[in-house]
Structure 1
């Protein structure tokens, strides 16, 4: 199906988009009717303090009530609300709205008994288990501000978030379960508390029977490390009284979600309550086409923005069931888990990252496992978290579903900037494009001087202010940084930090980051932060990290280090130390595995490292040497070092593969 600009403009999508830009007051007050308010707003947008905008300033509501209680009052209490499916424990459970509301209300009572109230912060550091959602919704019930931290983050990263958020309480579990290992959380939490300077009143621990030893055995020795009181989740729940929803103003912060910045210091994105609720409600109907009683599965983690918006809140606001999956797309135990679960629960909308589809494709290139399951309940496959390369897009169309929606958004925006709005008007998706701009997002392309770029011309992707509801309102305790990072570069616009172009029909193409943040399997990581970790090693004089192309994860970090004079540590030994150092500080999520020792880094005459040339060398692209280079001999040496490293790495992989293939034959041979 080919679509013209006129069809886009004159259809239901075009009319909605046009109204959202030309008359946002009417558009968003109408959208606000999808939410139950304690005090209904009479004003959508407050521009009196521009460029700081507020949505629904005179409205009051409670997010937990909108996700749970109102559906019970509407007679849907016995419908499924939360589906838990664990591929690593072989456990599953379905909570009805009645059951989930009761759990949330009781845990809100637990938090209240520990002094948590309106505006207090709670850090949640948990695996993908129902209690992660229950804790988040309980915070929302109290008007407390939750900050969910991905369970794979190292102690130092957790400590930095504790220092910034200054929580009263931390909610955690005794561990997370990976396909081949158990990650114990209590030592990480204890170390993070020891590293932080924030005073925490209590740590509440969910004991998992699958974890050897468990929280009941572990909290005593952990309590000896840091001066904090530890409490058992289940015991606290038996003693707590249910807590009613606390009304908050629409502008009240719902959560803080930390994302890496180019400096390496975490940025705490602040999301309001009312605008976010309205945005999620609108998107559930118009983008994901989900209604009450249906099932939406977002295969993400609650530590990421996708998990916040479309695991914890979005589906429940719509009265739909949300699916919580503990496992991987492959290896738990095979590449059929997605399709098995879709068939089992009749999933209507499935949302995952392109890296997950690439992992499945690697294990099942012909899609044979998909054919074994009935996934006809699917209306579309939604992809986001990173750019979907055309090969992955076409494979998904051919093997998973003919309707693949690649939509683009950021932690800061909280929901999609672009997409295919199948609940309004389903139009064609285009390989390599994140779709059409979401109503409310006035997406434009500017050059570095702030001038509009002609159609099909690449430049800085910006969003004309005001941003729609649901987007960030500031950075926690860093309001000046919020202005500096997002609003100051192009006055009157929000800077996305991405570059790209818009085609003649209005489709947006995101080509890459304009800063040094790389996207590893949907996780935004700062190369500058990794460079700082490498440079802190006693043997390293200078370091650079670039994003190398990776068939599975989209990008992966690749490091270069220049050693201090006189260092004679063997390169394999040094490489192992550096990799362990980065992974120790950032966690395994950094996926840092490659680092090369070089005599010098190629630079311009002004001293700027030529990272583009480093990427060209690692990715095997044509090397284009800029005229501003200071010393071409340095670049030549780096080229030789990269070539040697990659060749030796490939030879080692081939040797391991040959040895593995020979093992059965050796076992079968006579003694």
Structure 2
């Protein structure tokens, strides 16, 4: 099987290679250990040597663990505003493409001017330090100075997924008690104009005092136009403490209301920048792009990392396959160095034959994968499309992490679907159910045995829920909820969510193991497997399969796919109880399959929070199949 291997340039000139050389590290493992064993030394060096942050008052101590590992404090005593790091230069910061092909490039200077105006307008209109500012906008250039301006003013941004409906908006505005909302009146996707303002109006809560609207459709909204805010000028900036909150970003759970993860000036942005610098090799003048929405962590992650590293960010509005080759033309047009996408999007592009044309990827130096495990077939598709030159940086962590627990580095070979090391600052391990490290090749739960600046500072106004979610399984151990495995060579593999894990006759089986087999079949575009109760085996796998164009469901194909899983995984262990053919799977906007929703619908239960769902019609599709 193919393995990506570093070339001389990676081993000598990549960011991680140069840092290791300067600091005298002989091996990647030695470097990673340093980042978590001596966090005070490492994070101080990252700040002073690479980021060179502008501190109003220097911190006296990098790390304070006096409240326990659950509540570390970083850069103690420092005063900073993480949005006040913009250079007043003509270098490009934002590169954007609309679905109709229009483009925009905004310099650091232009973004800085607009961010200053937003901050000053907010302050003049009653924003007090710590007030929440919700942002309900699609991926348009204006969203960057809006977010940075709100932070500059001392506000806490609350990014909202641009596809949210009124109830999802209401719940988050109510929970955060947002005082200000910046919104767009419409967005554009697959050639259609989508009314965002009506959803916002229906979801507004009593806490909201001011609404600012980015008017795109040529129809006055009745609210303050964003263009007027940008023209107001001003230069206000709040000198915040390092641990002051900068963002509340919500994640959805199986039950209960969404969790508002709290992040600080010295946390999420710095961890994001470190991951992008060491994993994705982005530095001054380089272009980072991720197929995402600002309501998902990868959106703010891209913004903070790109500008703190003095690079640029490239993003687009609309669907990546509209037209089919859009993504690759976009990469070529904006000279993207590192492109991130979800495994589901990769599988979809593969299924419709959306390969890059010769020359389109000549400037691309890394693919990124996050959101869920990437199957071997999709990994190999990217590998071959990059002609073996472009590494696939598998990257997994979460909103509560501010980036990765696991990643890949370009100074070490990368096996298909693997992570070749723990991410920056994290001591990762895989624990068995007894709380001890699982042997190589044995599935367990991914845990973290260190602290890092990007840790969420708890859930908004619900610290106990944070402790119960991550710290209650084993004392002093962050249990992340991902099912994972480490092989004999020390490479990590994510097998799915721990709560997605299927336990057949006492044996744990990750859904990705079955899905990888199914997705390798020439008729299969993608699949999702769930575990359902069985009176003898405890649980059995049920799989939902989307076929490629030109293939039709049949009993013969169903039996063929079941047999394929038996042959690949063993009849007792990998036998699929049933396969259901569907036209689509329920996904989030960043193409993450919502298996918990499939399982709930299959079992006739309440699927919980559906606000993150991109395609509600998939629910009815699952119901019909069942």
TM over 0.5: yes
User: Partner residue of 1:629?
Assistant: none
| Structure-2 separation of matches of 1:257 and 1:166 | 13
> Which residue of 338, 359, 368 maps to 1:349?
338
Give the superposition deviation at 1:308.
0.8
For 1:46, the equivalent position in structure 2 comes to 64
Shift of 1:515: 2.4
The structure-2 alpha-carbon separation of the partners of 1:547 and 1:274, relative to structure 1 and needing over 3 Å to count, comes to: farther
CA distance in 1, matches of 2:194, 2:495: 36
Residue number in structure 2 paired with 1:326: 317
Report the equivalent of 1:162.
173
Tell me the distance in 2 between the aligned counterparts of 1:511 and 1:300: 22
Q: Secondary structure at the match of 2:128?
A: coil
Higher helix share: 1
Contact 1:153 1:586 in 2 (8 A): yes
- Asked if the contact 2:249/2:261 (under 8 Å) is kept, the reply is yes
Partner of 1:32: 47
User: 1:152·1:589 contact (CA, 8 Å) conserved in 2?
Assistant: no
> In 2, distance between residues paired with 1:40 and 1:401?
47
TM superposition shift of 1:325: 0.9
> Could you tell me how far 1:243 is from its partner in structure 2?
2.5
- How many Å separate the matches in 1 of 2:370 and 2:114? 31
Residue in 2 aligned with 1:199?
A: 207
Partner SS state of residue 380, structure 2: helix
SS in 1 for 2:404: coil
Distance 2:616 2:272 in 1: 30
Query: Are positions 1:279 and 2:271 aligned together?
Result: yes
Is the 2:162–2:293 Cα contact (8 Å) retained in structure 1? no
Name 2:228's counterpart in structure 1. Answer: 235
For residue 256 of structure 1, report the CA deviation from its aligned partner. 0.3
Cα distance change, pair 404–561 in 1 and its aligned pair in 2 (3 A): closer
Shift of 1:93: 0.9
- From 119, 123, 126, the equivalent of 1:108 is 119
Which is higher, the Rg of structure 1 or of structure 2? 1
Distance apart, 1:510 and its partner CA = 1.0
**Equivalent residue number for residue 479 of structure 1:** 463
Q: 2:32 aligns with which of 3, 13, 17?
A: 17
CA offset digits 1:352-388 (Å, max 9, x no partner): 21222222212226x3xx1244321111111111111
Compared CA separation, residues 295 and 2, structure 1 to 2 (3 A): closer
Tell me what 1:308 maps to. Answer: 300
Map of 2:588 onto structure 1: none
Partners of 2:371 and 2:212 lie apart in 1 by 31
Q: 1:295 aligns with which of 275, 287, 292?
A: 287
The question of whether the paired residues in 2 share the 8 Å contact of 1:45 and 1:57 is answered with: yes
Kept in 2, the 8 Å contact 1:262–1:516? The answer is: no
Deviates more, 1:375-384 or 1:352-361: 352-361
* 3-state SS of 2:397 partner: coil
The 1:476/1:427 distance shift into structure 2, 3 A limit, reads same
Determine helix, strand or coil for the equivalent of 1:64. Answer: coil
Gaps of 5+ in 1: 220-229, 528-544, 564-577, 598-641, 647-671
Cα 1:346–1:180 change in 2 (3 A) is closer
> SS of the counterpart of 1:480?
helix
- Cα distance in 1 for partners of 2:55, 2:133 equals 25
| Alignment partner, residue 414 of structure 1 | 402
Is the 1:443–1:461 contact (alpha carbons within 8 Å) kept by the matching residues of 2? yes
Distance 1:119 1:19 in 2: 35
Aligned to 2:349: 360
How large is the RMSD of aligned CA atoms in angstroms?
3.1
State the Cα deviation string for residues 41-95 of structure 1 (Å, max 9, x = none): 23111000003111112222111122x1xx33xxxx0111111111x23221111
CA shift in 2, pair 1:266/1:274, >3 Å: same
Match of 1:438 among 418, 423, 426: 423
SS at match of 1:45: strand
CA gap 1:325/1:562 in 2 versus in 1, 3 angstroms: closer
What is aligned with 2:95? 83
Gaps of 5+ in 2: 12-16, 502-510, 516-527, 531-540, 548-584, 586-590
- Specify the SS of the correspondent of 1:381: strand
Evaluate the alpha carbon distance shift between residue 49 and residue 244 of structure 1 in structure 2; reply closer, same or farther with a 3 A threshold.
Answer: same
CA distance in 1, matches of 2:26, 2:351: 39
| C-alpha distance in structure 1 between counterparts of 2:489 and 2:408, whole Å | 13
Q: Return the alpha-carbon distance in structure 1 between the equivalents of residues 172 and 34 of structure 2.
A: 40
The residue that corresponds to 1:457 in the other structure is 442
Structure 1 length normalisation: TM-score? 0.73
Match among 476, 480, 501 for residue 496 of structure 1: 480
| Whole-Å separation in 1 of the counterparts to 2:546 and 2:108 | 42
Q: Which of 470, 480, 492 in structure 2 is aligned with 1:508?
A: 492
CA distance in 1 between counterparts of 2:191 and 2:92 reads: 31
